[in-house]
Amino acid sequence: MAKTPSKRAETLGGYIVHGIPFPVESDPDSLAFLKKMAPIQIEQEYKITYLHSYGQDSPWFAGLTNKHLLATRDEKTGYTYATPRGHDMYTGDETTWIDITTRPARVHTFTVCYFGSEEFLPETPFVLALIEFDDVNTLLLTRLMGVDMDEVSLDWVGMEVEPRFLRNSKLKPTDVYFVPKG
């Protein structure tokens, strides 16, 4: 039977602390200053690998990676979602995947974003649009590109558009965007 070590081995990994004040007197009252002591703060690098699953939405991202825009449909009611849903929100039934890549699509509405989250801030301003498709009941929120930002116009509402896909998928919803059809 192996004997456990009597002393834990020390390494220099992590951080090294120097000169933390502590009384050396044996007087019990000398510990009273500890209540007034400022908190010790330690700064150290922290790294984590996060494993994320798209779960039932995985086919949607696989479609984007392969230049296909997928939607889901409830087979009983025919209700079709432009954004993926594993189950119909009315019946609770499992939905089926359909390809809407080549369906006629139009700008339903849009806004110009002059501020965005940290990821999009370098790309501001950009146009965020809701896209409607023939025979699809919901809208797809995405970016509209290929339009002149100096000529923003309500004429864009109803404009026919078509999807474009990033050449190198990032497995994000921004892998697809829309441009004026032409």
84 and 59 Cβ atoms separated by less than 8 Å:
yes
Q: 70: helix, coil or strand?
A: strand
112 and 146 Cβ atoms separated by less than 8 Å:
no
Whole-model pTM: value is: 0.73
Assess whether pLDDT exceeds 90 at residue 23.
Answer: no
pLDDT digits (tens, 9 = 90+) for 27-55: 777 777 777 778 787 777 788 998 989 99
Pick from 39, 69, 85, 98: which is nearest to 169 by CA? Answer: 69
Output phi, psi for 132, to 5 deg: -110, 145
**What pLDDT was estimated at residue 16?**
66
- The beta strands (E) that lie in 9-104 are given as 70-73, 80-81, 96-99
Dist CA 179 CA 164 (whole Å): 7
**What pLDDT was estimated at residue 116?**
83
**What pLDDT was estimated at residue 146?**
96
**What pLDDT was estimated at residue 136?**
98
pLDDT digits (tens, 9 = 90+) for 140-181: 999 999 999 889 999 999 999 999 999 999 999 999 999 999
Pick from 82, 77, 57, 95: which is nearest to 137 by CA? Answer: 82
> Could you tell me which residues come within 8 angstroms of residue 34 by beta carbon, excluding any fewer than 6 positions away?
23
> Position 31: which residue type?
L
> Could you tell me which residues come within 8 angstroms of residue 99 by beta carbon, excluding any fewer than 6 positions away?
63, 68, 69, 70, 71
Token pair for residue 121? 């801030």
pLDDT digits (tens, 9 = 90+) for 71-130: 999 999 999 999 999 999 989 999 999 999 999 999 999 999 998 888 778 888 999 999
**What pLDDT was estimated at residue 94?**
95
Bridge partners, 140 (sequence order) = 131
Q: How confident is the model at residue 138 (pLDDT cuts 50, 70, 90)?
A: very high
13-to-4, 10, 39 alpha-carbon distances in Å: 22, 9, 22
Q: How confident is the model at residue 1 (pLDDT cuts 50, 70, 90)?
A: low
**What pLDDT was estimated at residue 46?**
82
